Amino acid sequence: MLFVLAQTWQLWTNTELLLDVCRRDDGIYLATAGGLIVSDGDTILRLYTKLDGLKTTQVLSVACEEGDVWVLTRSGLQHLDGGNFRDINLIVFEDPEEILEGKRILRRGDFLFILGKTRPTALRVSDTVEILFPRDIVGEHVLKIFGDRIVVGGSAGAFVAPIDSFFLSSAWDTLVEGMTVYDVDTFAGDWILATDSGLRRTDGAVALDSVPVGWVYSADGRLWISALRALFVLDSLGGDTVRVRGGDVRFLGGGYVGFGYVSDPSYMIGLGIYRLPDMHRLRTGGLGFTSITGMVELGDSLIVCGKGIEYSCAVWPTGATFNNLFVNSFKYINGWLWIGYHGFGIKAYRPDFSDTITIRPSDLGDFGYVFDFTGFGGKVYTVAWNSFGSARVFEIEDSIARSTGISGIAQHLLYSTDEYLILCSETECKFYDEDLRLEGSVGIGANVIYGSGDSLLFGTSNGLYVVSSRTLTASGPYLVGHNITGVWKGFDGRIWVADDNGVLVLGEDMEMVKSYTPFNSYLAGFPVSVSSYFPLRYTLLVNPEKNRLYVATDGGITIMTSPEVVSGWEEVSYVYPNPARRGQTVRVKDCPVGAEIVLYTASGHEVARREGCQIEHNFRPGLYFIAVVAPNGRKVFKVVLTD
């Protein structure tokens, strides 16, 4: 009997980064970098993502009016109607980036106002006709409505007009010009402007003179102000500003403030969503960062680490967090979770956090930039840099790190097989034996390596290579021009590859048979790229036992559960004895003539290959897969090996 498992998708996205808010009778709608949240102010009622019809998880803005919900995403404008998202195509913008990199949408009456990348426009909802603003009214930062007036602002200043005549040049008045305006509100009857030279009224400074102010929000008789990478509050126009907390404010308004920054996909960090005025934090359960540098699956939990700020490691699906330093590498080796920091050495945890190991930069001879770990010969090895880019390999035993004498320039990747410790830079990979003697090298660098038998798969910044561990020669490249950050070879011989565009599936002839991208699947984003300073590798993690594939992307983690991952496996009754004790011979029922048996670990690494239909058990206890490779096809079975 073949196990049949329907394909399912799950997303773990960055819902901690708030970008806009609107209110409706059924709840508060929060636009985040990881989807559209519906909340009652204390709890999460609903999360809309790509699984629900959003074109992308990155929601830039949301607008509510009389039961309608409109969302502006990184992929365009959509209307949420009856639980379904409908695409709205705009033709007024000559440059598509005007809408794809839009800033804000607002709904008022029959109009949906849209602030594009550099200028505003409007959509008349009743007949979906686009209405142009006057050409001299431009603004890339501000689009707000105050009663019956609309305000637009940006590098040219700030301008105001009645809503019912916004399309007439003569209707617009200037609030201020000659300075960049980032935000506008009203307070005590005055216009208050957040500008590049402080918080101002139309006739002069109010506070934070000569300091760039990013956001201002009037609520509860006070002004909330974002400046100097912090949130301040001002009780009166003549009073003093009081610092509430640090953090780069990404949105302030609608009763909420959100911290984080999105200047680059590698830094799509959310520091949390807080309700004003009590600064109550809204727990979204989302991932607070999307710069993933390592993934480990333990039991039913996925642990990821990366470049967070308030925390840099998180657990799915519980949402638990730990650690608060940038992480370069994260591995599970010999019963420990190993974390390599960017400049701060090493920390290791037991999975239950009952014990820790700390190795400081001074313990590593000031080689504190730790880029990778591997297990070899029962020991843990790590490669670390100093501040000048020189690299050194250390052996860790009994919580002590000792230099191996292996060093070089900019080596960033460690890998091991039963025979070799492999050390790679961007241009070369060196092979060392169990005594750490150099056995040879191949003239290609690697972002990621997969395999444990005679053939190793090297994912590089220019394609995929197959490297013979016997002859230390390489064939390829395949997928020339692809920047590969994840590789896994399935038991059916297919190869799964993550690159900058998505996930590819290759046949045994190295021809692509399938691809998953953010455009044709539920991938949350694009698998993150490799950086010399922050090597974001291992974007692909596979659990064959659960038919599960994890992909780290710039939009969060995508989890695919599908029989495609392993192409199914047979019931255990086809393999006997099962479980098998050490020394017993494991046989496969109805094995075809001319077959070959390949034994894999639960993580998919090949450990043995035998001709025929049986194999003697002299391996470590655990769950294994047996692949029967025959001229007429391949089948995969589960087997448990015991002492």
35-44: per-residue pLDDT in tens? 999 999 999 9
Q: Which residues contact 509 (CB under 8 A, 6 or more apart)?
A: none
Sort 563 into a burial class: Cβ within 10 Å, 0-12 / 13-18 / 19+: middle
Q: What is the C-alpha separation between 252 and 192, in angstroms, rounded?
A: 14
Tally the domains of the chain: 2
- Does 364 or 571 have the greater pLDDT score? 364
What pLDDT does residue 571 have? 41
- Average pLDDT for 426-455: 91
Task: Place 59 in a pLDDT band, splitting at 50, 70 and 90.
Answer: very high
- Spatial distance between the Cα atoms of 281 and 289, rounded to a whole number of angstroms: 17
Is 584 buried (19+), middle (13-18) or exposed (0-12) by CB count in 10 A? middle
**What number is the average pLDDT over the span 318-337?**
91
In tens, the pLDDT along 184-236 reads 999 988 999 999 999 999 888 788 889 999 999 999 899 999 999 999 999 98
Which of these ranges, 356-365, 428-437, 524-533, has the smallest mean pLDDT? Answer: 524-533
- Distance separating alpha carbons of residues 117 and 113, to the nearest angstrom: 13
Least confident span in 26-30, 121-125, 186-190, 585-589 = 585-589
Of 209, 234, 262, the domain-final residue: 262
Q: Torsion angle of alpha carbons 124, 127, 128, 129, nearest 10°?
A: -70
Burial class (CB in 10 A: 0-12, 13-18, 19+), 237: middle
Strands 301-306 and 313-316: antiparallel
CATH number of the domain enclosing 603:
2.60.40.1930
**pLDDT for the residue numbered 209:** 87
Q: Which two tokens stand for residue 443?
A: 């003239």
Q: Decide if pLDDT at 91 tops 80.
A: no
Question: Per the domain annotation, does 88 fall within a domain?
Answer: yes
The model's confidence at residue 529, banded by pLDDT at 50, 70 and 90, is low
* 28: three-class secondary structure by DSSP: strand
199-205: long-range contacts, CB 8 A cutoff, minimum separation 24? 199/223, 199/225, 199/227, 199/234, 200/176, 201/237, 202/175, 202/176
The CATH number assigned to the domain holding 241 equals 2.130.10.10
Domain end, chosen from 213, 237, 262, is at: 262
Scan for tokens 């290579």, then name that residue. Answer: 465
Query: What mean pLDDT is predicted for residues 91-96?
Result: 69
Q: How far apart are CA 243 and CA 169, in angstroms?
A: 41
Does residue 42 fall inside a structural domain?
yes
Cβ count within 10 A of residue 605: 16
CA quadruple 394, 395, 397, 402: dihedral positive or negative? Answer: negative
Q: Give the domain extent around 597.
A: 573-642
Give me the residue label for tokens 């590049």: 196
Q: Across all residues in the chain, what is the average pLDDT?
A: 88
In a 3-state reduction of DSSP, which class is residue 572? helix
Flag the least confident range among 319-333, 473-487, 591-605.
591-605
Q: Tokens for 334?
A: 């010999």
How far is it, in rounded angstroms, from Cα 597 to Cα 591?
A: 10
- One-letter amino acid for residue 146 of the chain: F
**Cross-strand partners of 402:** 395
Q: How far apart are CA 185 and CA 103, in angstroms?
A: 17
The reply to whether 468 falls in a domain is no
* pLDDT reported for residue 213: 96
- Cα separation, 460 vs 465, in Å, equals 8
Give 161-178 pLDDT, tens digit per residue.
999 999 999 999 999 999
Per-residue pLDDT, averaged over 80-108, amounts to 83
Sorting pLDDT into bands at 50, 70 and 90, what band is 568? Answer: very low
pLDDT (average), residues 553-561:
92
Q: Sheet containing 495-499: which strands, arranged edge to edge? A: 484-489, 495-499, 502-506, 512-516
Residue 625 carries which side chain, given as an amino acid letter?
F
Please say whether the beta carbons of 384 and 394 come within 8 A.
yes
The single-letter code of the amino acid at 592 is: P
Q: Is the pLDDT of residue 99 over 80?
A: no
User: End-to-end alpha-carbon separation of the chain, Å?
Assistant: 28
| Band (578; pLDDT cuts 50, 70, 90) | confident
Is there a contact between 76 and 88 (Cβ–Cβ < 8 Å)?
Answer: yes
* Structural element, H or E, at residue 97: helix 97-100
Residue range 230-269, pLDDT digits in tens: 999 999 887 889 999 999 999 999 999 999 987 665 567 8
The reported pLDDT for the residue numbered 593 is 72
DSSP state of 530: B
* 623, amino acid identity: L
Closest Cα to residue 557, out of 288, 282, 250, 264?
288
Q: What amino acid occupies position 241?
A: T
**Most confidently modeled of 124-128, 215-219, 260-264, 602-606?**
215-219
SS3 178: coil
**Does the pLDDT at position 49 exceed 50?**
yes
Instruction: From 296, 293, 323, select the one nearest 309 (Cα to Cα).
Output: 323
Q: Find tokens 């192409």 and name the residue.
A: 567
What is the pLDDT averaged over residues 515-538? 75
Copy the structure tokens of residue 473.
Answer: 């020669």
pLDDT of residue 1: 24
516 part of a folded domain: no
368 assigned to some structural domain: no
pLDDT band at 536 (very low <50, low <70, confident <90, very high): low
Q: 546 — phi, psi (to 5°)?
A: -100, 5
Domain membership of residue 483 (yes or no) is no
- Cα separation of 560 and 520, whole Å? 14
Domain-terminating residue out of 224, 242, 262: 262
Reported in sequence order, the residue ranges of 276-345 that DSSP labels E, i.e. its strands, are: 280-282, 292-298, 301-306, 313-316, 321-322, 327-333, 336-341
**Cα(541)–Cα(532) distance, rounded to whole angstroms?**
22
For residue 494, what are its two tokens? 């297919």
More confident residue, 557 or 640: 557
Which tokens is 515 given?
A: 């691809």
Alpha helices in 393-530 (DSSP H): none
Judge contact between 343 and 385, C-beta under 8 A.
no
Residue 507 lies in a domain: no
DSSP-derived 3-state class of residue 277: coil
426 vs 369, which has greater pLDDT? 369
Residue with tokens 């504190």: 368
d(CA 596, CA 594): 7
Closest CA to 363 of 331, 389, 325, 398: 398
**620 within domain boundaries:** yes
- Of 256-270, 449-463, 544-558, the range with the lowest mean pLDDT is 256-270
- pLDDT above 50: residue 71: yes
Written as six digits, the tokens of 537 are: 């590798």
What is the per-residue DSSP string for 478-544?
Answer: ESTT--EEEEEE-TTS-EEEEETTEEEEE-TTS-EEEEE-TTTS---SPBPPB-SSSB----EEEEG
Nearest Cα residue to 472 out of 495, 516, 512, 441: 441
